[in-house]
Amino acid sequence: MGEGFSQMNLENSTAIVTGGASGLGEATVRKLVETGAKAVVFDLQQEKGAKLEQELKGRVRFFKTDVTDEKSVQDALEQIESVNILVNCAGIGAAKKTYGKSGVHDLASFRKVIEVNLIGTFNVIRLTAEKMAQNSPNEEGERGVIINTASVAAFEGQIGQAAYSASKGGIVGMTLPVARDLASLGIRVVTIAPGVFETPLFASLPEKARDALGKMTPFPPRLGRPAEYAQLVQSIVLNPMLNGETIRLDGAIRMQPK
């Protein structure tokens, strides 16, 4: 990382964004490119990833990557010279009760959500940290920044969110120990816990449902915008004292059971 990395200047940085082909990840890619960084997208959405790469030619590279697969991530990392920033946005959800009218929660879908959201996040962290450790430190002794995506569901999981909440709670839980693990290397680790945001998941809901969800937020009474998530990513990168913390980005919402 160059001198500018900790001085409101991202021009010398390379950022990996998992799940960067859509939603919060795509907004983050666009923000990082806008501020002068180069972005590398790890995603399974081939068509969307290729389209983003073409649109932001020269600033974005796309690699079809499965975050849960060690070799897939390693292969992608081998094609990147260096990395200063990692933003983990890849994730999935599942809406099933532990036990209800449709019977017991199947173990396969619970396992899948944990595998992608929690294990996938850690898999990319550990392999990227190894590469970040090779960076020359800047004047703060900093070599890299890792930003993870949890959710307010980590704290107030709703009915049917056992798997999702468990996966996001795991991300919150590992933030501090991973930050402590990597502190001697000058690598910071911070997690963002978004509230209800305008993402592809919410776009599939009826307008009435989206409005109702937005009004649950005290202020501003609307869904969060992906660009607001991306803005926080930028702020975390540029503030060297942010480390080992989970930041709620939620307009003061506290989720009710349903």
For 122-137, write each residue's pLDDT tens digit: 999 999 999 999 999 9
Domain range annotation of the chain: 14-249
Per-residue pLDDT averaged across 61-87, rounded? 98
Cα–Cα distance, 182 to 179 (Å, whole number): 5
Cα–Cα distance, 37 to 189 (Å, whole number): 19
Share of the chain above pLDDT 90, in %: 86
Helix H or strand E segment including 34 = helix 23-34
Q: In which band, very low, low, confident or very high, does the pLDDT at 40 lie, cut at 50, 70 and 90?
A: very high
What local confidence, expressed as pLDDT, does residue 204 receive?
67
What local confidence, expressed as pLDDT, does residue 176 receive?
98
Is the dihedral angle over the CA atoms 113, 114, 115, 118 positive or is it negative? Answer: positive
Q: Quick one: residue 122, left, alpha or beta (phi over 0 = left, psi -120 to 50 = alpha)?
A: alpha
Cα dihedral 211/213/218/223 (nearest 10): -70
The DSSP symbol for 11 reads T
Q: Is there a catalytic annotation at residue 164? A: yes
CB 85 within 8 A of CB 237: yes
What local confidence, expressed as pLDDT, does residue 4 receive?
40
Catalytic residue among 164, 167, 226, 236: 164
For residue 104, the tally of other CB atoms under 10 A from its CB is 10
Concatenated DSSP letters for 76-144?
Answer: HHHT-S--SEEEE-------B-SEETTEEPPHHHHHHHIIIIIIHHHHHHHHHHHHHTTSPP-TTS--E
Q: List b or e across 203-220, with b for residues whose CB sees 16 or more CB atoms inside 10 angstroms.
A: eeeeeeebeebbebbeee
Cα–Cα distance, 255 to 118 (Å, whole number): 21
What local confidence, expressed as pLDDT, does residue 216 receive?
92
pTM: 0.94
| Own/partner long-range contacts of 111-115 (Cβ < 8 Å, ≥24 apart) | 113/163, 113/164, 113/166, 113/167, 114/163, 114/166, 114/167, 114/170, 115/68
Which CATH superfamily includes the segment(s) 14-249? Answer: NAD(P)-binding Rossmann-like Domain (3.40.50.720)
Q: In which band, very low, low, confident or very high, does the pLDDT at 3 lie, cut at 50, 70 and 90?
A: very low
